[in-house]
Chains A and B, each alone.
Chain A
Amino acid sequence: MLNVPKAFALDLAQAEAHFRELSRIVHPDRFATSDPRAKRFSTQRTVQLNEAWRTLKDPVRRAEYLLSQAGFDIGAETGASRPGNSAGAREKIALPAGLLARVLELREDLADARSDGDQARVQSLAGQVRQRLGETMEHVAATFAEMPKVPSCQPEPTSQPALESIAHDLIELRYLRRFLDEVDAHDEAQAAGSTHA
């Protein structure tokens, strides 16, 4: 829909220009005085368009989408699954080794720093997580780059390990982002508190 190749590395500026162009054509503003059906179609199409662009512009969502196209489902909060055998059963991908322990530790540190009111510690934890997030993102990009092309529904056995590694990275990214959201919420509460004081 957005005229981009099915790949992780993209020309986002071009895709965005295309998104704007298409918005111009299908947006409900164009159909404000049309009949209800035209309005509905326009709304549906724009919803799809917005969803496509939302998926595309964020590297994590983009990677998740590409993986889902290859049959890896990362829909669940805690794990991922890959397409099963002919019986159709989906097999759970195990959480990356040590991830849970690392995340729990980070969270405990954050909770401690918050209860101590140690702002510097909160920020340094956030810094660590941001760095880790950047590295993981780069790893995802590199793994995609090594693949000849992103496989579709029936991935070749050779690309399985790469896909699985990306799935692991994405699960980790999800936890890291959650952590940073929490820090943001904390920052905001802090800012609000200091304004009231």
Chain B
Amino acid sequence: MPEALFQISEPGESRVKAACAPGTTRAIGIDLGTTNSLVASVKDGRPVVLPDDDGDAMLPSVVHYAAGQRGQVVVGKAARDVLAARFPRDTIASVKRFMGRGPADAEARRKLTPYDFAPSAEGEPVVRFQVADRARAVTPVEVSAEILRVLKERAERQLGEPLFGAVITVPAYFDDGQRQATRDAGRIAGLEVLRLLNEPTAAALAYGLDKQAEGTFAVFDLGGGTFDISILKLEAGVFEVKATGGDSSLGGDDFDRAIALHLLARLGLPEDAGGDRGLARTILDAARAAKESLSAADTVMVSVAGIDNVAGARGGLELSRDQMEALVRPVLERCAGPVRRALRDAGLAAAELSGVILVGGATRMPLVRSYVRELFGREPLSDIDPDQVVALGAAVQADVLTGGTDHGEVVLLDVVPLSLGLELMGGVVEKLVHRNSTIPCGATQTFTTYADNQTGFDLHVVQGERELVADCRSLARFKLTGIPPMPAGLARLEVTFLVDADGILRVTAREETTGVEASVNVKPSYGLSDEEVERMLLDSFAHAEDDVRSRQLTEQRVEADRILMAARAAMADSPALLTAEDQAAIDGAISRLEQAKAGVDHAAIRAAIAALDLASKDFAARRMNRALDEGLRGRTVGAIEAEVEKSTSSDDLQTRLERGGHAGHSHR
């Protein structure tokens, strides 16, 4: 933690070491994968994966819910190897593919599935799995939180101290809803999510630091459930994503499925395995095992437990590598479109790349490697274990964010994977933020009324590349009301989009003539409400309410200490920038916060923190500007900076964002 507000390091000068309570700077990186998850941390300046007590780094992303309301939850190998076949309905694998998805999404409507979905009420946005022998219905977010919790406990045990926070990776091509769902899962697992990091970017970070690579690289990331392609420029510690693309439901699971369908056909069984969930699970597992064996062997005998007696299957089915590759190839070829588009968006030809980095378990298949060679016309790189590279990169980023070790000069410039826009009359999309814009980014656009005496605006926020709303993903709907009646076209509605460094969107709308305002942290239509997340958070502690309250109190006190320390340090550091009025206001706010902190009401402490924040607003702004000026000194930029300040568009944007920030803050 910095010892002053707005710690800004000069280029070439190492970041001032954080002043913090001992034992709270540990941050971890988590690769929350479709098939396996890993946790890593930086030790002695190098990222290392943290294995479990058996020495295994990979935790299978499989969660079993034993029967009963309070039944035991088993995560990992036991769930995958033993429980999945016995209790297919109560054992969730590849939950990542359901993150941020609704019951109407393709993933929840597959024929060959071992799961039971809870009947969803009309318009209910979230998928729920019926588990624990139908005693519970859990959302994908809760299932993911179980995986995260195991990794968190593993890290705490290994590091021997509580964690400060975590960086969790997501596929670059995850949309807003999927990102929100991942962040919520982190919160429910009791993790402070410092940043959501795109998986290919994490991999590039691990490569860039370990191999000292410079140049423009493509990261080809094919995991269990998602495909990502990112083009990055690595130069002097700046990792700039030029373009990204992918398919958030394309991965090794789809290979398994293609093989499983082939096996079912050869066994003379229907595509949905006759609705037999145990068989569905078994056949999918057999397909995965066959695929993995065929990376080395030329042929395998696939034996499917329980159906060896089916005619023609005695002793197993023979499957050759050629046969398997013929089944998988059409699925793999779906990678070509996103690759082409990403290269075009980056303005590059494949030949101009310095290298292609392989990430994800599926890239160990010989077929995938030869396909990548075909696509890019070069031998891909896989010096770092493709299963671990994402977690290692996430650990580095966690370390950078907490100001640790000597990676301090690294900055990641990531992008928005999909365009963000608003629905206009006639179901047409107006894009405000275009795909591959560097984040954080913002955009403001003015709209007007189309009917006389219209007193409200319905805003529908969508994400996607298509022109029509129906072809894009719906993120949120909200309403701005209270506009006085006036003739059509007179009201001026100004809508601001702000995408933060996690790639998550906030939308602010304001009617200019009246100043009526509305702001939403876009909660995806397919997501969970804040209340639900809060409730799950509480549930997950499985403690009495008092425990929760005391935890909130402790948290707020720690936060108060941090803010107080920062405020005092800032005042001591820059007395010249402090006006008498500011000084009085800040001093008052400090003593009120001290008072609140001595009490037991966490809400009062939170309010006092917000008050201090507000009181120090102008002072903080001056400090920030001075720090920037100093950072720019020697480069005649002052004048240009002033010019930009004057330019109405960016000025507008800044005030807009500032206002949005306030609205967002008071909401919390």
Q: Give every chain B residue within 8 A of A135 (Cβ-Cβ).
A: none
* Minimum CB–CB distance for B660 against chain A, Å: 9
On whether A35 and B440 interact (CB within 8 A), knowing A3-B635, A27-B413, A28-B501, the answer reads: no
Task: Say which residue of A36, A47, A184 sits within 8 Å of B653 (CB atoms).
Answer: A47
On whether A47 and B440 interact (CB within 8 A), knowing A20-B235, A20-B240, A37-B613, the answer reads: yes
Instruction: Give a binary string over A44-64; 1 marks a CB under 8 Å from any B CB, 0 the rest.
Output: 111110111110000000000
**Contacting pair A41 B621 (CB below 8 A):** yes
Task: Say which residue of B411, B617, B624 sits within 8 Å of A29 (CB atoms).
Answer: B411
On whether A36 and B501 interact (CB within 8 A), knowing A46-B440, A48-B650, the answer reads: no
Q: Give every chain A residue within 8 A of B486 (Cβ-Cβ).
A: none
Q: Give every chain B residue within 8 A of A33 (Cβ-Cβ).
A: 1-2, 18, 164, 194, 401-403
Kindly identify, within residues 11 to 48 of chain A, every residue whose CB is under 8 Å from any CB belonging to chain B: 18, 20-38, 40-48
Docked pose: A54 CA to B238 CA in angstroms: 17
A101 near B: Cβ within 8 Å?
A: no
A2 near B: Cβ within 8 Å?
A: yes
**Contacting pair A37 B650 (CB below 8 A):** no
Of chain A, the residue at the smallest CB distance from B610 is A36
Instruction: Give a binary string over B1-41; 1 marks a CB under 8 Å from any A CB, 0 the rest.
Output: 11001111101000100100000000000000000000000
**Contacting pair A51 B653 (CB below 8 A):** yes
* Minimum CB–CB distance for B412 against chain A, Å: 6
**Contacting pair B644 A38 (CB below 8 A):** no
**Contacting pair B620 A43 (CB below 8 A):** no
Task: Say which residue of A24, A45, A192 sits within 8 Å of B411 (CB atoms).
Answer: A24
* Minimum CB–CB distance for B257 against chain A, Å: 16
Instruction: Give a binary string over B647-659; 1 marks a CB under 8 Å from any A CB, 0 the rest.
Output: 1011001100110
Docked pose: A42 CA to B439 CA in angstroms: 12
Of chain A, the residue at the smallest CB distance from B400 is A29
B377 near A: Cβ within 8 Å?
A: no
**Contacting pair B336 A2 (CB below 8 A):** no
* Minimum CB–CB distance for B610 against chain A, Å: 9
**Contacting pair A195 B333 (CB below 8 A):** yes
* Minimum CB–CB distance for B653 against chain A, Å: 7
**Contacting pair B628 A35 (CB below 8 A):** no
Q: Give every chain A residue within 8 A of B635 (Cβ-Cβ).
A: 3, 18
A104 near B: Cβ within 8 Å?
A: no
A89 near B: Cβ within 8 Å?
A: no
A87 near B: Cβ within 8 Å?
A: no
Docked pose: A54 CA to B435 CA in angstroms: 12
On whether A1 and B501 interact (CB within 8 A), knowing A20-B238, A34-B6, the answer reads: no
Task: Say which residue of A1, A22, A37, A47 sits within 8 Å of B620 (CB atoms).
Answer: A37
- The contact size tier of chain B is 35 or more
**Contacting pair A1 B641 (CB below 8 A):** yes
On whether A1 and B402 interact (CB within 8 A), knowing A38-B620, A41-B621, A47-B653, the answer reads: no
B195 near A: Cβ within 8 Å?
A: yes
A91 near B: Cβ within 8 Å?
A: no
* Minimum CB–CB distance for B487 against chain A, Å: 19
Q: Give every chain A residue within 8 A of B657 (Cβ-Cβ).
A: 40, 43-44, 47
Docked pose: A114 CA to B194 CA in angstroms: 48
**Contacting pair B500 A43 (CB below 8 A):** yes
**Contacting pair A43 B501 (CB below 8 A):** yes
Q: Give every chain B residue within 8 A of A51 (Cβ-Cβ).
A: 441-442, 650, 653
Q: Give every chain B residue within 8 A of A195 (Cβ-Cβ).
A: 330, 333-334, 336-337
**Contacting pair A50 B437 (CB below 8 A):** yes
B665 near A: Cβ within 8 Å?
A: yes
Of chain A, the residue at the smallest CB distance from B641 is A1
Kindly identify, within residues 617 to 668 of chain B, every residue whose CB is under 8 Å from any CB belonging to chain A: 617, 620-621, 624, 628, 631-632, 635-637, 640-641, 643-644, 647, 649-650, 653-654, 657-658, 661, 665
A97 near B: Cβ within 8 Å?
A: no
Q: Give every chain A residue within 8 A of B613 (Cβ-Cβ).
A: 35-37
Kindly identify, within residues 398 to 455 of chain B, every residue whose CB is under 8 Å from any CB belonging to chain A: 400-403, 409, 411-413, 437-442
A191 near B: Cβ within 8 Å?
A: yes
Task: Say which residue of A6, A38, A47, A191 sits within 8 Å of B441 (CB atoms).
Answer: A47
A188 near B: Cβ within 8 Å?
A: yes
Could you pull out 17 A-B pairs where Cβ atoms are within 8 angstroms? Answer: A1-B644, A20-B240, A20-B411, A22-B632, A27-B413, A29-B195, A29-B397, A30-B411, A31-B7, A32-B194, A33-B1, A34-B566, A46-B440, A48-B654, A50-B439, A54-B441, A188-B341
Q: Which 4 A-B pairs have the closest CB atoms?
A: A32-B401, A28-B501, A1-B644, A25-B631
A residues neighboring B (CB under 8 Å): 1-4, 6, 18, 20-38, 40-48, 50-54, 68-69, 184, 188, 191-192, 195-196
Besides A47-B498, A54-B441, 10 other A-B contacts (C-beta < 8 A): A3-B637, A20-B238, A29-B195, A32-B194, A32-B402, A33-B401, A35-B562, A36-B665, A51-B650, A52-B644
B residues neighboring A (CB under 8 Å): 1-2, 5-9, 11, 15, 18, 164, 194-195, 235-238, 240, 330, 333-334, 336-337, 340-341, 344, 397, 400-403, 409, 411-413, 437-442, 498, 500-501, 562-563, 566, 613, 616-617, 620-621, 624, 628, 631-632, 635-637, 640-641, 643-644, 647, 649-650, 653-654, 657-658, 661, 665
